[in-house]
Amino acid sequence: MSTLSTLPFLKPIHLRSPRSSPGGQRRHTLPASEFRCLSPEDAVSVFEIEREAFISVSGDCPLHLDEIRHFLNLCPELSLGWFEEGRLVAFIIGSLWDQDRLSQAALTLHKPRGTAVHIHVLAVHRTFRQQGKGSILMWRYLQYLRCLPFARRALLMCEEFLVPFYQKCGFEALGPCEVTVGELAFIEMQHPVRGHAFMRRNSGC
């Protein structure tokens, strides 16, 4: 049985019925909306969205193309993409970390025995922003993490102006992050993944 088939939060959402051809026969159409783990083949699409989203704001990207490929090869199960009719419109990429707080090494390492999911980046395509897609994708990602037996909490670092967004997603601030990128400083935030036994019992996980 595939991982996708056992995880209800990643199953495609079909928002419309298949179209019919003039002869009355159904022809295949892509699902209007689908959530799935990313693969290395998605790396270029991921980077194009990320580059546009971050370079205009901070002058750099959390992950460069080779780093995206690196994580999508090592731990694709910790990524989540939102596709509309086959087109990537938003994504999250994560990896595992094995310490209480993030350090500079967390930017490039995946610790397979870790229990903290380090969320490296969340980005939405420019034509789909201001529609709540970032919040929806994060909610689905956190539900998905609850289905993974090794995940205990989610960690991320963000600039101060993004703290209210992540607080609305259920994250709490831990204080200044040890990690710096150039002159940028970050706030470290966390979200518990365990401690939701009722939800796991009733989620199909």
- Residues annotated as catalytic are 95, 109, 120, 122, 166
Half-sphere exposure of 27 (CA within 13 A, CB side): 6
What are the structure tokens assigned to 29, written together? Answer: 């159409």
What are the structure tokens assigned to 141, written together? Answer: 């990602």
85: left (phi over 0), alpha (psi -120 to 50) or beta: left
What are the structure tokens assigned to 203, written together? Answer: 């989620």
- Give 162: exposed, middle or buried? Use CB within 10 Å, 0-12, 13-18, 19+: middle
